Amino acid sequence: MADREAARAASRALASRLRSDMRVNGVGITGDRFGFAVKVNLVDGLDQPELPAEIDGVPVETEVVGHSFLLLQ
């Protein structure tokens, strides 16, 4: 696992690469004192971009979160 700074750099690099891909709904960081990883949120588990298992030694995790919506009623 990587430290926070390495995960931040990897996350930003991947976010830049995926910026216009609407199948992705978030590229961030996850983890704790035992190590950090890049986290990629996907809209649909059946239609997702090809993602590396790690970037510059930082693991990449994915989660299917669905579409986003404002929380106004």
Of the candidates 6, 17, 4, which has an alpha carbon nearest to the alpha carbon of residue 51?
17
Q: Of the candidates 2, 10, 27, 58, which one interacts with other proteins according to CB under 8 A?
A: 27
DSSP for 22-63 reads TTEEEEEEEEETTEEEEEEEES-TTS-----SEETTEEEEEE
Residue 47 within binding range of other proteins, rule CB under 8 A: no
User: Which position among 1, 8, 9, 62 is part of the footprint of other proteins (CB under 8 A)?
Assistant: 8
In which residue are the tokens 């035992």 written?
34
Give 19 or 53: the residue with its C-beta nearer to other proteins.
19
Q: Give contact residues for other proteins (rule: CB under 8 A).
A: 4, 8, 11-12, 15, 18-19, 22, 24-33, 39, 41, 45, 63-73
